Amino acid sequence: MNGKGYAIDTLLACGGGTKNPMFLREHADITGCRIVLPRETEAVLLGSAVLGAVAAGAFPTVLAAMNALNAAGRTIIPSRGRVTRYHAAKYRVFHRLHDDFVAYREIMNTY
């Protein structure tokens, strides 16, 4: 998306994948984006608390409750240097494999 004019440098993550440090590290390194984790790791429970707080009248809107009850936690910064070059090379390989697959599919579609 950044190649199309966007400037994405941060990803917000929640859910079960946030409990896997390798998953998080790889996603930060592969995307080159920092990953911000929520302070509260149980997103479903937090969502329930937000809705309950609004239903109980503690907050006038869901957005107000979200702003009050949610906060950023730990941030994972992507590696640079060799790691970045490695993932760039793997991405080039992926594109080559995809181009080859499209060519092979075309051959088989003429059969």
Looking at residue 55, what is its pLDDT?
98
101-106-107 Cα angle (round to 5): 100
pLDDT tens, position by position, 21-53: 999 999 999 999 999 999 998 888 999 999 999
Q: Are residues 63 and 21 in the same domain?
A: yes
Q: Are residues 65 and 93 in the same domain?
A: no
Q: The pTM is what?
A: 0.73
Q: Are residues 73 and 106 in the same domain?
A: no
Q: Are residues 73 and 102 in the same domain?
A: no
Q: Are residues 12 and 59 in the same domain?
A: yes
Looking at residue 41, what is its pLDDT?
86
Res. 110: pLDDT tops 90: no
Q: Say what percent of the chain tops pLDDT 70.
A: 100
User: Please, which pLDDT band fits residue 15 given cuts at 50, 70 and 90?
Assistant: confident
pLDDT tens, position by position, 61-102: 999 999 999 999 999 999 999 999 999 999 999 999 999 999
Q: Please name the residues in contact with 13: beta carbons below 8 A apart, sequence gap of 6 or more.
A: 24, 27, 35, 36, 37, 38
Q: Are residues 74 and 97 in the same domain?
A: no
Q: Are residues 36 and 74 in the same domain?
A: yes
Q: Are residues 60 and 28 in the same domain?
A: yes
Q: Are residues 62 and 109 in the same domain?
A: no
Domain that holds residue 29: 2-79
Q: Are residues 60 and 8 in the same domain?
A: yes
Nearest Cα to Cα of residue 18 among 34, 42, 50: 42
Res. 16: pLDDT tops 90: no
Q: Are 45 and 67 in contact (CB under 8 A)?
A: no
Q: Are residues 69 and 53 in the same domain?
A: yes
Q: Are residues 88 and 39 in the same domain?
A: no
Looking at residue 43, what is its pLDDT?
85
